[in-house]
Amino acid sequence: MEDKHLYDITEVCRMLGTTSRTLRFYEEKKIITSTTVGLSARRKYTEEQLLQIKNVLVLRSLGLSVKSITELQKEQSDLKNAVLSKRAEIYASIEAHIKEINLLNEAVYALELGKNIFDGVWQSRSDADFKELEIARLCTDAIISNDDEFLYRHLSSRLLQYMPKDVYSVARTDTLATLGDFLGIDEIAADKKYSNKIFSKVRYSKLGLMITFVFHAGKIDGLWLGYYDSTRR
């Protein structure tokens, strides 16, 4: 017998973890096909059609739209470009959500201070309101001088929980070990994109120390130690 093996739609759904409704939808959109045998209207699938369904499910799991998959099948677009385009779309969405979260954080803090968030004034984050630049400056000095007690007074309860002093001490020691001699502070400035983030650039003889502070409700809620090229000024 040379007859091709046909998979029933129920069997395919069980094998691939999908539903008959999904398969019918994809067939309506012409990105998969099925086979009918005799007078039966029940959908069945060959090995080739099964592989086609698997490929479509992979692309859908990556977030590609039915339209994008259709274009790929017609060779009107490149698979790598389609994936890169979807990734860029998701990155843009993440960035938009981060901005929304930052704004919500500001609104919560304004409400905690008893401000009216409908007058628009609360969205103008001033140094007088939050004193975050000053806190960042003082905590930068504390990191440089290894004054853990002062630094930890300005950390949020969440960060205190997730960054015990012994963990921070090891990270600080390892990070500063390769910097060389302290030369001075290049810059302490708020991030232009995210209003609750402040960078400190500290110049050493071999490499620059980049300190990133993230604030919430007047406390440091995120702290990262990294590097930057201090020779490029």
In the three-class reduction of DSSP (H, G, I as helix; E, B as strand; rest coil), residue 161 is classed as helix
What gap in Å lies between CA 79 and CA 75, rounded to an integer?
9
- The domain spans of the chain are 7-76, 83-123, 127-228
Residues with Cβ within 8 Å of residue 15, at least 6 apart in sequence: 7, 50
What single DSSP character describes residue 31? S
Residues with Cβ within 8 Å of residue 208, at least 6 apart in sequence: 179, 186, 201, 202, 227, 228, 229, 230
What gap in Å lies between CA 119 and CA 102, rounded to an integer?
18
Walking along the chain (233 residues) 10 residues at a time, the average pLDDT comes out as 75 95 95 83 90 95 93 87 87 78 76 75 52 88 93 94 92 92 88 84 92 90 91 62
CA distances from 40 to 21, 36, 44, 100 (A): 18, 7, 10, 54
Which residues of the chain form beta strands (DSSP E)? 7-8, 44-45, 182-190, 197-204, 208-216, 219-228
Contact (Cβ atoms closer than 8 angstroms) between residue 188 and residue 200: yes
Q: Does domain 127-228 have CATH number 1.50.10.20?
A: no
Q: What is the pLDDT of residue 88?
A: 85
- Fold agreement (7-76, 127-228): no
In this prediction the pTM is 0.51
Q: What is the pLDDT of residue 123?
A: 59
Q: What is the pLDDT of residue 151?
A: 95
R_g (Cα) of the chain, nearest Å: 28
Contact (Cβ atoms closer than 8 angstroms) between residue 163 and residue 105: no
CATH dotted code for 7-76: 1.10.1660.10
Residues with Cβ within 8 Å of residue 166, at least 6 apart in sequence: none
Pairing of strands 182-190, 197-204: antiparallel
Q: What is the pLDDT of residue 125?
A: 52
pLDDT digits 0-9 by tens, 46-55: 999 999 999 9
What gap in Å lies between CA 193 and CA 191, rounded to an integer?
6
Q: What is the pLDDT of residue 124?
A: 53
